[in-house]
Structure 1
Amino acid sequence: MDATKKEERRVVLVTGGAGLIGSRVIHDLASSFQVIGLDIDPPSSDRADVDWRQCDLTDDDNVSDTLQAIRDRWGSQLASVVHLAAYYDFSGEPSPLYEKLTVEGTRSLLRHLQSFDVEQFLFSSTLLVMKSSESGLPLSSQSPLEAEWDYPQSKLKTEEVIEHERGRIPALILRLAGAYDEQGHSPPITQQISRIYEKQLESYFFPGDKDHGQSFIHLDDTVTAIRCAIERRAELPPLERLLIGEEEVLSYADLQDRIGELLHGQQWPAIRIPKMVAKAGAWVKDQWASGDNAPFIKPWMIDLADQNYPINISRAESLLGWKPRHTLRETLPQMVELLQRDPQKFYEINHLPVEHLHSR
């Protein structure tokens, strides 16, 4: 493709472009669009089809200057703004960045985009803004909301910001299930795998309903959903919320047994224990831990052990012409195969304590 044709390609702006999802989205879109990647720490790249820009969304002046530079280079027409940048910390520790980056960073971005011709603003929210399904019936985007900790609360607040600040910009909010791939890249899944692999005592105990579970989504299917949303942007309602995930949900017990069979050739029991006992144990481990040895399970997580997130994705299938091609059940063997073939690589990729491997 010559330089003139490259200039004619529609422009897509991706925030958080260097992240787990963002890097894959940019790689996928670059063959069809002129992609602009924003990140506070952009990678070095000499690709002509990706224009990387350093941008700190917590700095309103920096956002303004960055968008002005984009206008000067690429004009004011943007086919889509894929907004992935957000703060996230699985430790559950409070942070001002939930407000400064996720919420107010989005407000700043939207306000400075008002002078552009933006055909779509696509925001990656989370399935965790939804109220857990106590009945076991699948959730839809119209189901009740109940964000229970800082991360989903910041996403839900940002959804409200988008509704009030988008002006005439059409907005699509994708409430994404937890992402994973063949290497893991999902803390809840890889932590459960590591506990069973190491035969930790706590791998046998669970403080919630072991028949409950949550939807997940393969990273490739996440990227495909975003691409489909961009391609169908002209056909979508001016403001839409969609659930993106797999309809097949493995319960905690199912996941336990499957991982146990793959690793040790036998099912792995999950014995239910009282929440107060689990909280006390988690608190003690957390107090004794230091540095990188801090346990994954925190006392505040115990109250969320009963959460149940089966979903109905029929609206996403209808509006986007999309459905998942992968399942967690089919991908688990590949995760475990990597762990068995190269334990250190698996632990490093998934930020697990490598020193635990030496004590097995």
Structure 2
Amino acid sequence: MNNEKPGILVTGASGFIGRHFVIAVSEHFRLFCIARRSQKEAGVPHSDNISWIQADITKMENLLSAANHIKENGGVDYVLHLAGYYDFTMDDNPAYENTNVGGTLNILKMSQQLEVKHFIFSSSLAACKFPPRGKSLTETSPTDADFPYARSKGRSEWVIRKHAGALSCSIVRLAAVYSDWCENPPLNMILKKWLTGNKLISRALPGKGASAMPYIHIKDLNKMFLRIIEISDQLSGINTFIASPQGSVSHMELFKTATKYYYGREIEPLLVPKPLASASLAVWQFWNGLTGKASLEQPWMADYIDKKLNVDASVTYRTTGWQPSPRYHILRRMLFLTENMKNHPNNWAFRNESLLKRFATRKSTLIYDIMMEERRAAIDRIADEITAAENISRFPHYSQMDPDLLKWDIHLHYQMLAATVKSRDRSLVQNFAQIIATHKYMEGFNAAEVKNFVITIGKAVKKILVAKPQLQEHGRRQSRRIDDLIILTIQFAVDEVEDTFEILKASPPDHMTENKPVESIERSEPVRRMIRRLEDICGDSMMMPVKNHMRNLQ
């Protein structure tokens, strides 16, 4: 990373908004990205300016490790807190309180510890009740909407106002965010129904078609975040801004514009009276329940038929000097959306269904957490097994290593396995196995000993996991998951070790043909690069024993 560039901590970096922001600004900032998914899963290209940390913002211990890593790598100047939970069921999921409220408090505390200049929080206009007819929401509107997501955003804003202290903050209430590929589930749902659905149903609009809300293009939103950062020295205390064009856009306007661009002509909608539309939503949910199909259309949506979420963001415009671009207004941009939907259906489906699929709970995260809890004891047990008298013939070189260096080596392999579990990216192991096998070959190890070393670590980890009660409740299915994440990854590493040894035997490295001294593995630059990559995935404190050992050897 270039420490001369300003640094931004971005939470929720694997989400729609976070991913677009990170990609857009990665050339100009050092970015420390906190996310539940891996960088590869999120579709964010590698960059020297991006440090990707997989962490759960509800766990302060994870964030403290991440904070240490950030401090050691130049710190950050700004925080953009995008992480949050949302679903369409209207159920009061505990994640609303734990992630949205508790997570915000944790990130706020982390920001204070990092001594950042400015904290930006992405709230939502949905946290506010629809204004009375003829009125508009403004920056001073209360967060008084009464459904789980709205309450969690309102409480998160309250947390910031109460606990920010001297830290200057900007609360940004977002309109519905979309891109040229849509990437907004409700908008995608109605466009699919209008443009690719049943001919009769596709013409149906509930009520008078007057349901309206504001939309903001992701490029306009990125510019707003950057503008807040640019003027942050002029902002003090708690500021509330609205990221939205003025007014709102109705379903009728969206329908006529979308059908005109898609079909080449405007299509007259079929207006469905509100009582009938409400009944249809209830029947539709009942049918989906019988068939096991998931749908974003829910009965509660009937309450918003013909209501308008009008916005007046003039104070935001005056204060920040930012304003949405007319060319990114959704009615003008609908041409791009319909072209992409019609001519690139696979890419459209990938962006709106596959890439945006939520990973609210993942067993791989639970397995990773257990591995971290058991790491120290596991490393000790593995070291004891390798140095046991009955195993000296299997590990002639490993058993003669300095005890601390042996544990360092085990730790490195263990951490690589854990990082692969967390990121679900086995390409990490491929590169790692090649580096390790090359060094071991030059140090006189044979392939069988290195393979046995790797297999022993894998078996030890599996033994730990299968004994854990929290992983036993799913029985055979969970056992298969452990085999997939641990044993298959170990097999992947073993195959790479064998391949590397075969290649090296056929064409030995220059060090060996020229009788040059072999660089010790702990001083190897490729290994150091690998450690830095592990730090990005796992957080600094998890690699501190390795780094301390390397310092002691210098």
Cα deviation digits, residues 131-161 of structure 1 (max 9, x gap): 2122233321113433242222211111111
Cα deviation digits, residues 214-252 of structure 1 (max 9, x gap): 110000001110011111101123111011112253222
Q: 2:338 maps to which residue?
A: 336
1:24 pairs with 2:20: yes
Instruction: Please list, as runs of the form range in 1=range in 2, the aligned pairs for 1:21-100 lying within 5 A after superposition.
Output: 21-44=17-40, 46-75=46-75, 78-100=76-98
Does the 8 Å CA contact 1:261/1:268 hold for their aligned counterparts?
Answer: no
How far, CA to CA, are the matches of 1:350 and 1:52 in structure 2?
A: 23
* 1:342, distance to aligned residue in structure 2 (A): 3.1
Q: Secondary structure at the match of 1:191?
A: helix
More displaced 10-residue stretch of structure 1: 262-271 or 50-59:
262-271
Instruction: Please list, as runs of the form range in 1=range in 2, the aligned pairs for 1:260-275 lying within 5 A after superposition.
Output: 260-264=259-263, 265-275=265-275
How far, CA to CA, are the matches of 2:183 and 2:133 in structure 1?
A: 30
Q: Secondary structure at the match of 2:239?
A: strand
Q: 1:14 maps to which residue?
A: 10
How far, CA to CA, are the matches of 2:268 and 2:292 in structure 1?
A: 27
Rate the CA distance shift 1:144–1:272 in 2: closer, same or farther, 3 A: farther
Does the 8 Å CA contact 2:143/2:150 hold for their aligned counterparts?
Answer: no
Q: 2:302 maps to which residue?
A: 302
Cα deviation digits, residues 183-228 of structure 1 (max 9, x gap): 1112232222111121354444444453341110000001110011
- Root-mean-square deviation (Å): 2.2
* 1:332, distance to aligned residue in structure 2 (A): 0.7
Cα deviation digits, residues 159-198 of structure 1 (max 9, x gap): 1111111121111000010011111112232222111121
Rate the CA distance shift 1:282–1:211 in 2: closer, same or farther, 3 A: closer
In the superposition, the TM-score normalised over structure 1's length comes to 0.88
Q: Which amino acid aligns with 2:24?
A: D
How far, CA to CA, are the matches of 2:207 and 2:163 in structure 1?
A: 39
Q: Secondary structure at the match of 2:171?
A: strand
How far, CA to CA, are the matches of 2:90 and 2:151 in structure 1?
A: 12
Instruction: Please list, as runs of the form range in 1=range in 2, the aligned pairs for 1:270-349 lying within 5 A after superposition.
Output: 270-275=270-275, 277-289=276-288, 293-325=293-325, 326-349=328-351
Q: Which amino acid aligns with 1:140?
A: T
How far, CA to CA, are the matches of 1:249 and 1:128 in structure 2?
A: 13
The answer for unaligned runs of 5 or more in structure 1 is: 353-360
Which protein is bigger by CA-based radius of gyration? Answer: 2
**Residue correspondences, number:** 345
2:135 is aligned, of 130, 133, 137, to 137
Q: Secondary structure at the match of 1:175?
A: strand
Q: Which amino acid aligns with 1:350?
A: N
Does the 8 Å CA contact 2:207/2:277 hold for their aligned counterparts?
Answer: no
More displaced 10-residue stretch of structure 1: 27-36 or 11-20:
27-36
More displaced 10-residue stretch of structure 1: 125-134 or 264-273:
264-273
Cα deviation digits, residues 254-290 of structure 1 (max 9, x gap): 2222223233323232414133x33332222222226
Does the 8 Å CA contact 1:253/1:270 hold for their aligned counterparts?
Answer: no
Task: Select the structure with the greater relative contact order (CA < 8 A; seq sep ≥ 6).
Answer: 1
How far, CA to CA, are the matches of 1:216 and 1:96 in structure 2?
A: 28
Q: Secondary structure at the match of 1:125?
A: strand
Q: 2:191 maps to which residue?
A: 193
Does the 8 Å CA contact 1:210/1:270 hold for their aligned counterparts?
Answer: no
Does the 8 Å CA contact 1:236/1:319 hold for their aligned counterparts?
Answer: no
Q: Secondary structure at the match of 2:170?
A: strand
Instruction: Please list, as runs of the form range in 1=range in 2, the aligned pairs for 1:112-191 lying within 5 A after superposition.
Output: 112-191=110-189
Does the 8 Å CA contact 1:137/1:310 hold for their aligned counterparts?
Answer: yes
Cα deviation digits, residues 88-136 of structure 1 (max 9, x gap): 2234343211111111011122223333322111000011112212223
Identity of aligned residues (%): 26
Q: Secondary structure at the match of 1:311?
A: coil
Rate the CA distance shift 1:185–1:63 in 2: closer, same or farther, 3 A: same
The answer for unaligned runs of 5 or more in structure 2 is: 355-554
Q: 1:242 maps to which residue?
A: 241
How far, CA to CA, are the matches of 1:191 and 1:293 in structure 2?
A: 14
* 1:30, distance to aligned residue in structure 2 (A): 2.3
Does the 8 Å CA contact 1:130/1:143 hold for their aligned counterparts?
Answer: yes
Q: Secondary structure at the match of 1:132?
A: coil
How far, CA to CA, are the matches of 1:207 and 1:242 in structure 2?
A: 32
How far, CA to CA, are the matches of 2:205 and 2:285 in structure 1?
A: 17
